[in-house]
A and B are shown apart, each in its own frame.
Chain A
Amino acid sequence: MKFGVVVFPGSNCDHDAWYAVSHDLGCRAELLWHDDSRLGDVDAVILPGGFSYGDYLRCGAIAKFSPVMSAVKKFAAGGGLVLGICNGFQILAECGLLPGALMRNAGLKFICRPVQLRVETADSPFTSKMTRGQVIVAPIAHGEGCYQAGQRTVDELEAEDRVAFRYVNNPNGSVRDIAGILNRERNVLGMMPHPERATSDFMGSTDGRFLFQSMLAALGTRLQSVR
């Protein structure tokens, strides 16, 4: 089982994600450079948080044209698991793998603190080890995390059970308290909170492990069904 963590110029949670996967979960993790158009033999891809390409133009707007993203798009189209955290979510929204966009926080401030999230669906490879309605704690650290989408898109997300997480207390003005969403095939998750920063006791929360263990379970059964 091998995770690939994409490194863009300006990523700053790449090593957090690498640490969470390799140290706290005991899986293999590999850092993938943004200029590489091949993902190698990874079983899942993590787009980490940070400020890819300095957030120039818009968050994630330049990253969507990087060579690695065309590989990630192909990987996702083939059913591979892609997890976008924070800036990774912004990149997924920009490149069209997820609907909507992320805008400046309603309060205009960069917010960095733990928040409570309500799990909205357990029916996904990212949340299968959680239960619907469960409240987990994970930190947020963003200035542009206000999720916005047209009303029809949001209605569609809710009708198709694609809202993965909602904020218990909306910190940034996101439409309908949305903190994380899935794509239609449910193999791509984008979320603003950082599960990789909630995987050890010293971090203040270990709830992020639920997410990674769900991914592991999904990958495990997938690999067994292949064999």
Chain B
Amino acid sequence: MARQAGIRYSTPPNPPPNDGWFQSVPELEYGRWWESLVSYNKGYMKARVYVSPKTTVLDPQGQTIQSALNGMGFRDVASVRQGKFFELTLKQGADPKQAAADVNTMARDVLANPVIEDFRVEFIDD
């Protein structure tokens, strides 16, 4: 994409000095080499926590949304439950097994109140 005026772009670091022991490759010398590092560093593990009111608990917000949707003409909506969604980005090198246990603990003790809410945890690679 062409650079636009008025936007500050971060400048790539200087290419490594070529001290002559390898063949100069223009793609490597000109700004592209560091991008490979960025893509290498990608792959953070993310945890998604879905919190929803228990089915046995009254959800007046969901009911109100449902009646609004029905009122708009979406007659097929039989029920709406409103909940919360959290996306946790884990540090690189986090142990997946430990992370799974930890995120479950976080969801149970902090993100959801088990008296009134259910939760579900899933992991994705970004």
Contact = CB atoms under 8 A, between A and B. Distances in A.
Interface of A: 57-58, 61, 65, 93-94, 99-101, 103-108, 146, 148-150, 173
B57 A57 contact: no
A148 to B, nearest CB: 6
Contact of A101 (B60, B111, B116): B116
Contacts of B57: 103, 148
Name B's interface SS.
mixed
A216 to B, nearest CB: 33
Contacts of B53: 103
B53, B111, B116, most chain A CB atoms within 10 A: B116
Interface of B: 53, 57-58, 60-61, 64, 110-111, 113, 115-116
B60 A104 contact: yes
A70 to B, nearest CB: 15
Given A57-B110, A61-B110, A105 B115 contact: no
Given A57-B110, A61-B110, A149 B115 contact: yes
18 contacts: A57-B110, A61-B110, A94-B113, A99-B115, A101-B115, A103-B53, A103-B57, A103-B116, A104-B60, A104-B61, A106-B60, A107-B60, A108-B61, A146-B58, A148-B57, A148-B58, A173-B58, A173-B60
Given A57-B110, A101-B116, 15 more contacts: A57-B111, A61-B110, A65-B110, A93-B115, A103-B58, A103-B116, A104-B60, A105-B60, A106-B58, A107-B60, A108-B61, A148-B57, A148-B58, A150-B115, A173-B58
B116 A108 contact: no
A32 to B, nearest CB: 24
